[in-house]
Chains A and B, each alone.
Chain A
Amino acid sequence: MKSKAIGLITANYKTNVPCALSKRRPMAGLPFAGRYRLIDFPLSNMVNAGIRTVGMIVPQNYRSLLDHVGTGRDWMLDRKNGGLFILPGTVYGGTHEGFRFLLRDIIDNKAFLIRDTADYVVLSGSNMVVNFDLKAAIVAHEASGNTATIVCHRASAINDDTTALVTDGDTVTALKKGVKYGDLESLDYCIFNRDDLIDVLENFADADYLSLEEAAFKSEAHYKIGYWEFDGYAAGVFDAKSYYNRTMDIRKPEVYYALFNPDRTIFTKAHDAPPAKYFKGSVVRDSLVSAGCRISGTVRNSALGRGVIIEPGAVVTNSIVMQSCVVQSGARIENAIIDRYNLIPSGTEMRGTPDDILIKEKAEYV
């Protein structure tokens, strides 16, 4: 049945904390879990809820992001009706840190919202690693009669980068930056009545650099904003440390099965990488390995992206090695994130510490 909702993903923002991983790409385009990018989570949650019209607000440096999503075919978004819409983001949103839903970015793309006739718009950021039943949230929103419903969960840790919901019964009365243990933490998914959203945009047409949430709460209309609580795995990626931790989380079976639930596939760009090859003498323990890898050396407590080559005698420990890197014989990598296309020559040592993960920026080696 045709979905009553359309999606709008803000894929144009940087991290709160500047980091080498997002220097040349938006967080949404960050490679994740070997073969994915962060944008795959909001795109997949939306299409798994039956949504087939998705707008994606992109930053100026959109090359890697568009290379990944293409026409949207791998997410069933190459539609005659609806499909994937690439929407330009503002320079302001792309150069300042920490935004989720900058009002100006949405106002500039109002045509996308006006031309559709769907009842609801699901807004989403791109920082959250979560696989949840968005359709159930939309159904709950529809039953509630709310103006908007924010998807949230109980925070299990302090986080300065996420947003806490201040509630009164089933109503959200305010939002505050930063969460404490046990707070209701926003997952940066918000289901909005389309008509009400357009009203907010019109009322605040001149307010340039306000966030959508602030505008909704400041609005004179008596909007009722509710929340929908999710109790599965959800965690954000905001900086190198959280990126590292989220990747390592996937080694835990409960996280692996929660994120890669076969009933709700996380879709990504299709690749024809052959299976990973383990040569005689390879030692691999407690690690995630992507297709196309060829391993002769040692890999412990680590994650390897697609097509990584670990030569004999090379040792990778507690590290993330992204797509197409080559770790040559005798090289040692520890507590590090090696971005794509790096060649780590024989004999090189690259060591960070658990509290200070070393980052090797993306290279051009092919």
Chain B
Amino acid sequence: MSKKECIAMLLAGGQGSRLRELTKKNAKPAVSFGGKFRIIDFPLSNCANSGIDTVGVLTQYRPYLLHAYIGNGSAWDLDEPGAGVTTLSPYATQEGMREFAGTADAIYQNIDFIEAHDPETVLILSGDQLYRMDYAKMLAAHKAHKAGLTIAVMPVPWEDASRFGILLKDDDDRVVRFDEKPEKPESNLASMGIYIFDAKLLLDELRADAEDPRSSHDFGGDIIPKLLEEEKPVYVYEFQDFWRDVGTVASYHETSMDLLGDEPKFDLYTSEFPIMSNVSTRPPHYVGPEAVVEDCLVDNGARIFGTVKHSILSTDAYVGERAIVEDSVLLPGAVVKDGAHVVRAILGERAVVEENVKFGSVDTTKDTALAGDDVVIGRGE
């Protein structure tokens, strides 16, 4: 196959257990987000908008909907000759079958895919992050540094720094130390889990790592510390824009709320760097004669007869008469029946809150209420 400058490998196989019921039937990257998108739309759109046309998506946990959604990548204009989106799942060999044992092992098991495209560099991405990033700029920095590995980092509040992988760099942006979740952080530059590797270095390291019985086969835990130990040229690329991990129920809810307001932190409406999605064709939404809709995002196919404030109504969501929805996210097809009251809640796809039932609490010390896909919330629940 042809020589490529850069291909992307998107890690989309994790269970996403911190999203609880949202990932019960569905892989995390396929979870609906922002009214009409699925989480994987963000990295795939970033690839398309950055001119990266070859993406391997590594899947393992409940991949059906994710595979069906990705298709051949045409929804992101990635169906280019000799390129496109390829889903890569665990497979059998003459030695038997084994699952992906870690992020590095997932890539290691798909070295064939990388070699077939013979790229100069490999971009490693996660499937659970919301951000808009031009990877071409990161690639330019990687090349300018003649780096073996470039790690995208962003400054986080100092009080949060101990929750992240923290990097210390010198004046030339070269990494001098990597501390995984340090108790006393000496920097606030957090790894975003976005890496560009020199392809040859990556393959050599992955092969060595696979032979190492003590390794847990993880980029953050094994590969990066080893590269630093060997004094390989590892650099950071500092990213300043909006970036969120939406891997927990709390962060999913908070990031959803970040899309609302007069000047949202993440602008869905810019045409320069559009977020593309594999949409189903649904008609415009309808707002009824008595409805009140304030500070909301509402997608096609929704029908609103009650009051909805500071919330996201995804495709085909329904809010009945006298119902109230506040500070909540209704995923596609979720139904809030007449007189029900939903507050600070996430309703999964096609979940139903029965008539006059209250779901969720305004008390912010309590967890965000969550109903999984297809769950019916009746009285006494």
Interface positions of A (Cβ within 8 A of B): 33-36, 74, 250-251, 253, 256, 259-260, 265-268, 270-272, 274-282, 284-292, 294, 303-304
Enumerate chain A residues within 8 angstroms of B291, measured Cβ to Cβ.
Answer: 284-285
Q: How far is the CB of A264 from chain B (nearest CB, A)?
A: 12
Q: Which of B274, B276, B285, B303 contacts A276 (CB 8 A)?
A: B285
Residues A290 and B293 in contact, CB atoms below 8 Å apart: no
Cα of A268 to Cα of B280 in the assembled complex, Å: 10
Please state if A286 and B299 are interface contacts (CB–CB under 8 Å).
no
Residue with the highest number of chain B CB atoms closer than 10 Å, among A268, A277, A279, A294: A277
CA of A224 to CA of B164, assembled, Å: 78
Inter-chain contact B299/A291, CB cutoff 8 Å: yes
Chain B residues near A251 (CB, 8 Å)? 286
* C-alpha spacing A281/B296, complex, angstroms: 11
Residues of A within 8 A of B193 (CB): none
Cα–Cα, bound, A287→B284 (Å): 10
Tell me if B299 and A260 are in contact (CB < 8 A): no
Q: Contact flags (1/0) for B268-292 with A, using CB distance below 8 Å?
A: 1100001111011111111111110
Instruction: Identify the interface centre among B262, B286, B290, B313: most chain A CB within 10 Å of its CB.
Output: B286
CA distance A268 to B298 in the complex (A): 20
Of the candidates B268, B281, B289, B290, the one whose C-beta lies within 8 Å of that of A267 is B281
CB-based contact B283/A33 at 8 Å: yes
Specify which of A265, A275, A282, A286 is in contact with B288 (CB 8 Å cutoff): A286
Once bound together, how far apart are the Cα atoms of A261 and B298, in whole Å?
20
Q: Does B300 contact A (CB under 8 A)?
A: yes
When chains A and B are docked, how far (Å) is the Cα of A260 from the Cα of B296? 24
In the complex the two chains form, is A275's CB within 8 Å of B298's CB? yes
Question: Which residue of B has the minimal Cβ distance to A73?
Answer: B74
When chains A and B are docked, how far (Å) is the Cα of A292 from the Cα of B293?
16
Asked if B38 is at the interface (CB within 8 A of a chain A CB), the reply is no
B320 is an interface residue with CB less than 8 A from chain A: no
- Residues of chain B lying within 8 A (CB to CB) of residue A279: 262, 295
Q: Does B173 contact A (CB under 8 A)?
A: no
CB distance from A11 to the nearest CB of B (A): 19
Q: Which residue from chain B places its CB closest to the CB of A40 in the assembled complex?
A: B281
B34 adjacent to chain A (CB < 8 Å):
yes
A residues near B280, Cβ cutoff 8 Å:
265
Q: Which of B36, B282, B287, B298 interacts with A260 by CB under 8 Å?
A: B282
* Cβ contact within 8 Å between B294 and A290: no
**Contact at A275–B287, with CB atoms within 8 Å?**
no
In the complex, B35 has a CB within 8 A of chain A: yes
Known contacts A74-B281, A270-B279, then 19 further A-B pairs from the complex at CB < 8 Å, ordered by chain A residue: A35-B283, A253-B303, A265-B281, A266-B281, A266-B283, A272-B274, A272-B275, A272-B277, A276-B298, A276-B299, A278-B297, A279-B295, A281-B294, A285-B287, A285-B289, A289-B285, A291-B299, A292-B269, A294-B269
Most buried by A among B262, B287, B298: B287
Q: Does A287 contact B287, Cβ atoms closer than 8 Å?
A: yes
CB-CB < 8 A to A303: which residues of B? 284
Closest Cβ neighbor of B285 among chain A residues = A289
Complex CA gap A357/B186 in Å reads 69
Smallest beta-carbon distance A261→chain B, Å: 10
- Given B286, B289, B312, which contacts A256 in the complex, CB threshold below 8 Å? B286
Q: With A260-B283, A270-B279, A272-B277 known to touch, is A277 a contact of B288 (CB < 8 Å)?
A: no
Q: How far is the CB of A166 from chain B (nearest CB, A)?
A: 36
Asked if B286 and A280 sit within 8 Å, CB to CB, the answer is no
Closest A residue to B76 using CB positions: A272
How many angstroms from the CA of A291 to the CA of B298 in the assembled complex? Answer: 8
- Whether B297 and A275, one on each chain, are in contact in the complex, defined by CB atoms closer than 8 angstroms, is yes
Which residue from chain A places its CB closest to the CB of B41 in the assembled complex? A272
Q: How far is the CA of A265 from the CA of B280 in the complex (A)?
A: 9
Inter-subunit contact B269/A277 (CB<8 Å): yes
- Which single member of A265, A266, A268, A274 contacts B36 (CB below 8 Å)? A274
A-B contact pairs, 17 of them (CB 8 A): A35-B283, A250-B283, A260-B283, A260-B301, A266-B283, A270-B75, A274-B35, A275-B35, A275-B314, A278-B298, A281-B294, A282-B293, A282-B294, A286-B289, A289-B286, A289-B287, A290-B284
A256-B283 contact in complex given A278-B295, A278-B298, A280-B294, C-beta closer than 8 Å: yes
Expressed in whole angstroms, the Cα–Cα distance for A145 and B59 within the complex equals: 53
Q: Which residues of A contact B262 (CB under 8 A)?
A: 279-280
A33 partner, pick from B284, B293, B296, B312, beta carbons under 8 A? B284
The answer on a CB contact under 8 Å between B275 and A278 is no
Give the residue of B75, B289, B294, B299 whose beta carbon is less than 8 angstroms from that of A275: B299
Contacts A274-B36, A274-B275, A278-B293 given; indicate if A291 touches B281 (C-beta within 8 A). no
Q: For the complex, give the distance between the alpha carbons of A114 and B169 in Å.
A: 73
Complex CA distance for A36 and B282, rounded to whole angstroms: 10
Asked if B296 contacts A278 (CB within 8 A), the reply is yes
Contacts of A36 in B (CB 8 A): 283
> Quick check: B286 and A288 within 8 Å, CB to CB?
yes
Contact B284 A34 (CB under 8 A): yes
A contact residues around B34 at 8 Å (CB): 274-275
Closest to B286 in A: A288
Q: How far is it, in angstroms, between the C-alpha of A250 and the C-alpha of B269 when the chains are bound?
A: 27
Give the nearest-CB partner of B277 in chain A: A272
